[in-house]
């Protein structure tokens, strides 16, 4: 590592939805903006995807990646602690380790960048007297809600989900009560106080980086910068939309050869990819309906399946996800045999970016994690929005009502089982029907808009250059010119 370069230290919280974009941000600072970077990872140590992603990021080694030692949080959580609480406690308990690791660094950091759950670590930067930034690995509307939550907390009486009117967020699309993020579902739960705390800490850095781009969320970004709208809730901080930062195609360590051989034989844009992110799970009844829906649609598909669960829709989030899984145990009888020619069942985990970028893929039924959405848009693939947890209901609304690149079920899948006829109809709409034409065209437009934003001199490249200039970094493109 060359000591003359500014040294960015990044912190990723557990979960692939955080780790992937933080790694990509670190890499981009190194490859395009002449930083050196160290990435501290608070890993869950249980997710098969996490270890795969970490392994593939080691070569070529652009950043120093340091996994913080696991912390024992068992005595600090109630049995029914929700995911936001679990991650918050892990981050809190890891803070002393981070502090000593940073203090022991040969090359002291120039700047600390933390993700949403790392906001408590901003105080370490303060102690060291270095600049500090928060990186929102999701989108600008989610920032808006997060920083406006302390105001909503004062205004709204009773549970958010019991309100009858949408919540007005200055300058942004209003938020329907049924769309609130998971930690807002129950105000007496610890995860609500953790999220509220994050909302208060978020604007305490020196700026906010976000994994979106100017043209995708122009109005919301403008509201975040406008003193009269959300600017004052954002402490009038500079906002840097630097996305879409996505995992590069071909970065998977274990590509399923047989699956890609099958894909290569399918007609262009004829296959729908069905996957619920790193943690999404469905009930047995919903899996049965989905299987029938896919069959009825008569479209080709690849479906990443996980054993059904009764309770949470994010129950695979912290599980190892390998071994002991036989999909014929829980898929409808005969389904695998009947769909053998047109469908591929992949247990637990697939090389998602490689699949979405394949020319045979023409649709994505997704749980609407932000990384999945970006991976779909950057490959020009229209979506069926099937939100399950976290901020995914907001993301689904953004996709359908603002961006026009997705369809969604009439009712929320987390509330009611979506039936086979509706599933088949949605699949046919995005894949082949005339009425899906606009959606397919729109997502191709956004694909181009995303490519453009990242190119030299365009909005996201410029935003990161501007951020880098604060630390005396000249972007590598500017050095060439
Ligand atoms: N992913 C993958 N294979 C899988 C499931 C997920 O490669 O079988 C990757 C996916 O490409 C994405 C990330 O894991 O980059 C999941 O992030 P996202 O924000 O979409 O959802 P989360 O899992 O955090 O809910």
Q: What CATH number is given to the structural domain containing 157?
A: 3.40.50.2000
Does residue 252 sit within a domain?
Answer: no
Beta bridge partners of 165: none
Let me know whether 430 and 337 are in one domain: yes
pLDDT at 65: 94
Q: Which two tokens stand for residue 105?
A: 């660094």
Task: Tell how far the Cα of 2 is from the centroid of ligand 1, in angstroms.
Answer: 33
Let me know whether 21 and 157 are in one domain: yes
Assign 38 to helix, strand or coil. strand
Does residue 138 sit within a domain?
Answer: yes
Let me know whether 78 and 202 are in one domain: yes
471 lines ligand 1 (CB under 6 A): no
Total number of domains constituting the chain: 2
Task: Tell how far the Cα of 418 is from the centroid of ligand 1, in angstroms.
Answer: 22
| Residue percentage of the chain with pLDDT more than 70 | 93
Let me know whether 176 and 277 are in one domain: no
Let me know whether 242 and 264 are in one domain: no
Report the nearest-CA residue for atom 2 of ligand 1. Answer: 352
Does residue 242 sit within a domain?
Answer: yes
Which of 13, 14, 16, when mutated, tests ligand 1's pocket best, judged by the most ligand atoms within 8 Å of its CB?
16
Q: Which two tokens stand for residue 229?
A: 């709208």
pLDDT at 52: 78
16 lines ligand 1 (CB under 6 A): yes
pLDDT at 61: 82
Task: Tell how far the Cα of 296 is from the centroid of ligand 1, in angstroms.
Answer: 27
Residues in the chain, pLDDT under 70: 1-3, 45-48, 58-59, 253-255, 311-324, 475-481
Does residue 458 sit within a domain?
Answer: yes
Q: Could you identify the atom of ligand 1 that is nearest to the CA of residue 372? A: 20
**369, burial (CB in 10 Å: exposed 0-12, middle 13-18, buried 19+):** buried
Task: Tell how far the Cα of 197 is from the centroid of ligand 1, in angstroms.
Answer: 26
CA nearest to 308, candidates 281, 341, 338 = 281
pLDDT at 321: 46
**Contact in structure between 261 and 358 (CB atoms under 8 Å):** no
**Contact in structure between 287 and 330 (CB atoms under 8 Å):** yes
Residue 438 vs residues 382, 430, 433: alpha-carbon distances, Å: 10, 9, 10
Does residue 278 sit within a domain?
Answer: yes
362 lines ligand 1 (CB under 6 A): no
352 lines ligand 1 (CB under 6 A): yes
**Phi, psi angle pair for 129, to nearest 5°:** 70, 35
387 lines ligand 1 (CB under 6 A): no
Report the nearest-CA residue for atom 17 of ligand 1. Answer: 17
Conformation bin of residue 129: beta by default, left when phi > 0, alpha when psi is -120 to 50: left
Let me know whether 218 and 332 are in one domain: no
Q: Which two tokens stand for residue 467?
A: 């951020």
Let me know whether 54 and 134 are in one domain: yes
Instruction: Give catalytic residue positions.
Output: 18, 115
Range(s) of the domain holding residue 14? 7-247+454-480
Let me know whether 263 and 309 are in one domain: yes
pLDDT digits (tens, 9 = 90+) for 424-475: 999 999 999 999 999 999 999 999 999 999 999 999 999 999 999 999 877 6
Does residue 1 sit within a domain?
Answer: no
Which of 369, 387, 414, when mutated, tests ligand 1's pocket best, judged by the most ligand atoms within 8 Å of its CB?
369
Which of 48, 322, 352, 373, when mutated, tests ligand 1's pocket best, judged by the most ligand atoms within 8 Å of its CB?
352
305 lines ligand 1 (CB under 6 A): no
304 lines ligand 1 (CB under 6 A): yes
* Cα gap 469→431, rounded to integer Å: 44
Task: Tell how far the Cα of 369 is from the centroid of ligand 1, in angstroms.
Answer: 7
Q: Could you identify the atom of ligand 1 that is nearest to the CA of residue 348? A: 8
Assign 454 to helix, strand or coil. helix
Task: Tell how far the Cα of 354 is from the centroid of ligand 1, in angstroms.
Answer: 12
Report the nearest-CA residue for atom 18 of ligand 1. Answer: 369
Q: Could you identify the atom of ligand 1 that is nearest to the CA of residue 317? A: 23
275 lines ligand 1 (CB under 6 A): yes
313 lines ligand 1 (CB under 6 A): no
302 lines ligand 1 (CB under 6 A): no
Let me know whether 438 and 468 are in one domain: no
Report the nearest-CA residue for atom 21 of ligand 1. Answer: 369
**Helices 190-201 + 83-103 axis angle, to 10:** 40
| Residue percentage of the chain with pLDDT more than 90 | 83
353 lines ligand 1 (CB under 6 A): yes
Let me know whether 241 and 292 are in one domain: no
279 lines ligand 1 (CB under 6 A): yes
Q: Where are the alpha helices (DSSP H) in 325-436?
A: 335-338, 352-356, 370-377, 392-397, 420-431
* Cα gap 466→469, rounded to integer Å: 5
Does residue 269 sit within a domain?
Answer: yes
Let me know whether 14 and 151 are in one domain: yes
Beta bridge partners of 132: 112
Q: Could you identify the atom of ligand 1 that is nearest to the CA of residue 304? A: 8
Residue 330 vs residues 104, 175, 366: alpha-carbon distances, Å: 51, 36, 20
pLDDT at 47: 66
278 lines ligand 1 (CB under 6 A): yes
Does residue 310 sit within a domain?
Answer: yes
**Contact in structure between 167 and 219 (CB atoms under 8 Å):** no
CA nearest to 192, candidates 201, 182, 200 = 182
Let me know whether 11 and 156 are in one domain: yes
Task: Tell how far the Cα of 112 is from the centroid of ligand 1, in angstroms.
Answer: 25
- Strand-by-strand arrangement of the 361-366 sheet: 343-347, 300-305, 271-275, 361-366, 383-385, 406-407
């Amino acid at each position: 590592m060359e000591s003359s370069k500014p040294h960015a230290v990044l912190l990723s919280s557990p979960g692939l939805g955080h780790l992937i974009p933080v790694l990509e941000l670190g890499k981009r600072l190194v490859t395009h903006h002449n930083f050196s970077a160290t990435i501290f990872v608070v890993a869950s140590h249980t997710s098969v995807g996490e270890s795969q992603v970490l392994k593939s990021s080691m070569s070529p080694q652009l950043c120093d990646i340091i996994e913080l030692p696991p912390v024992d949080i068992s005595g600090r959580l109630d049995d029914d602690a929700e995911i936001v609480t679990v991650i918050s406690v892990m981050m809190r308990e890891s803070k002393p380790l981070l502090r000593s690791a940073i203090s022991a660094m040969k090359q002291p950091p120039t700047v600390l960048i933390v993700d949403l759950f790392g906001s408590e670590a901003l105080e370490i930067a303060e102690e060291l007297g270095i600049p500090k930034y928060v990186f929102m690995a999701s989108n600008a509307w989610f920032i808006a809600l997060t920083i406006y939550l302390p105001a909503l907390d004062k205004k709204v009486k009773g549970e958010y989900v019991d309100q009858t009117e949408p919540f007005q967020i200055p300058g942004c699309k209003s938020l329907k009560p049924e769309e609130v993020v998971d930690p807002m579902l129950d105000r007496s739960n610890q995860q609500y106080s953790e999220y509220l705390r994050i909302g208060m800490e978020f604007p305490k850095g020196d700026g906010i980086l976000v994994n979106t781009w100017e043209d995708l969320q122009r109005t919301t970004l403008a509201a975040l910068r406008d003193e009269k709208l959300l600017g004052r809730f954002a402490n009038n901080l500079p906002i840097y939309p630097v996305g879409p930062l996505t995992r590069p195609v071909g970065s998977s360590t274990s590509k399923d050869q047989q699956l890609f051989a099958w894909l290569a034989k399918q007609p262009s844009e004829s296959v729908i990819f069905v996957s619920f992110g790193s943690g999404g799970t469905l009930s047995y009844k919903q899996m049965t309906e989905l299987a029938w829906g896919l069959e009825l649609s008569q479209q080709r598909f690849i479906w990443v399946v996980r054993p059904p669960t009764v309770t949470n829709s994010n129950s695979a989030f912290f599980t190892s996800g390998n071994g002991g899984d036989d999909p014929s145990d829980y898929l409808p009888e005969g389904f695998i045999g009947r769909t053998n020619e047109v469908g591929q069942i992949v247990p637990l985990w697939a090389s998602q970016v490689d699949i979405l970028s394949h020319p045979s893929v023409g649709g994505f039924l997704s749980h609407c994690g932000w990384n999945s959405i970006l991976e779909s848009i950057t490959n020009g693939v229209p979506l069926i929005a099937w939100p399950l947890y976290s901020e995914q209901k907001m993301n689904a609304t953004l996709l359908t009502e603002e961006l026009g690149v997705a369809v969604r079920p009439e009712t929320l899948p987390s509330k009611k089982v979506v039936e086979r006829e509706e599933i088949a109809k949605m699949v046919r709409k995005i894949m082949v029907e005339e009425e899906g034409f606009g959606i397919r065209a729109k997502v191709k437009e956004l694909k181009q808009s995303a490519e453009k934003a990242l190119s030299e001199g365009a909005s996201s490249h410029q935003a990161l250059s501007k951020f880098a200039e604060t630390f005396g970094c000249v972007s590598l493109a500017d050095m060439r010119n």
